[in-house]
C-alpha cells in the first residue's frame, strides 16, 4: 500500500472509531425527567407512572428540578373508560398526546410507552405476564 493511502486509511479508521465511540456514549446517556400525574382516586400516581416508564427504558432518570417534564392527566369521562393526556416539555418544545382506553391502568401503561418512546426510540413494552393455568370448564362426559 502506498504511504499516502496508508495514512488516509488510518485517518479514516480513526474517524470511524471515534464516531462510533461518541454514538455509543450518546445512546447510553440518560435524560433527567420530572413526572407529575393528576388522576382521580387511586387511578395513577407519580411513583406508579415512573415505574411503568422505567420498565420501558433505562435512558431516563427521575429528577425533582430541571430537566424535561412529563405531565400526565387522567380523567374518567361520563361515557365510561378513561382518557389520558400526556404533555412532554423538553428543550423548549412541548408536545401533547391524548389516549383513550377501557381502564385507567390501560391508559397509564399506554402513555408511559408513548413517553418512553419520546426519549428512547428503542423503548419497549414489558413482556406480557404469562396466562395462569385454569381448570377445565367442565368434566368430560363418562364413557358408555
CB distance 49 to 35 below 8 Å: yes
pTM: 0.69
- Enumerate domains of the chain plus CATH numbers: 27-119 (3.40.50.10070)
Q: How far apart are CA 52 and CA 45, in angstroms?
A: 11
- For the chain, how big is the Rg over CA atoms in Å? 24
Q: What are phi and psi of 128, to 5 degrees?
A: -65, 150
Cβ-count burial 8-29 (b if 16+ within 10 Å, e if not)? eeeeeeeeeeeeeeeeeeeeee
Which pLDDT value is given to residue 1? 56
pLDDT for residue 29: 85
| Residue 54: all three cell numbers together | 422505567
Q: What is the pLDDT of residue 13?
A: 47
Residue 98 in this model has a pLDDT that exceeds 80? yes
Q: In terms of pLDDT, which residue wins out, 136 or 52?
A: 52
Binning pLDDT at 50, 70 and 90, where does residue 138 land?
low
| Whole-number Å distance between alpha carbons of 50 and 39 | 14
Mean pLDDT of 41-46: 90
Give me the residue label for grid cell 462510533: 20
Does residue 101 contact residue 81 with C-beta atoms inside 8 Å? Answer: yes
Minimum mean pLDDT among 26-30, 101-105, 113-117: which range? 26-30
pLDDT at position 11:
46
pLDDT tens digits for 61-97? 999 888 899 999 999 999 999 999 999 999 999 999 9
Cβ-based neighbours of 130, under 8 Å, separated by 6 or more: none
Amino acid at each position: 500500500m502506498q504511504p499516502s493511502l496508508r495514512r488516509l486509511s488510518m485517518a479514516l479508521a480513526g474517524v470511524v472509531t471515534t464516531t462510533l465511540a461518541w454514538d455509543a456514549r450518546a445512546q447510553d446517556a440518560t435524560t433527567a425527567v420530572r413526572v407529575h400525574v393528576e388522576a382521580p382516586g387511586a387511578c395513577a400516581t407519580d411513583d406508579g407512572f415512573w415505574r411503568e416508564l422505567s420498565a420501558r427504558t433505562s435512558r431516563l432518570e427521575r429528577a425533582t428540578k430541571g430537566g424535561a417534564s412529563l405531565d400526565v392527566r387522567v380523567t374518567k369521562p361520563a361515557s365510561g373508560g378513561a382518557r389520558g393526556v400526556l404533555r412532554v416539555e423538553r428543550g423548549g418544545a412541548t408536545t401533547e398526546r391524548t389516549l383513550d382506553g377501557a381502564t385507567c391502568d390501560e391508559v397509564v401503561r399506554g402513555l408511559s410507552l408513548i413517553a418512553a418512546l419520546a426519549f428512547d426510540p428503542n423503548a419497549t413494552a414489558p413482556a406480557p405476564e404469562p396466562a395462569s393455568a385454569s381448570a377445565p370448564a367442565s368434566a368430560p362426559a363418562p364413557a358408555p
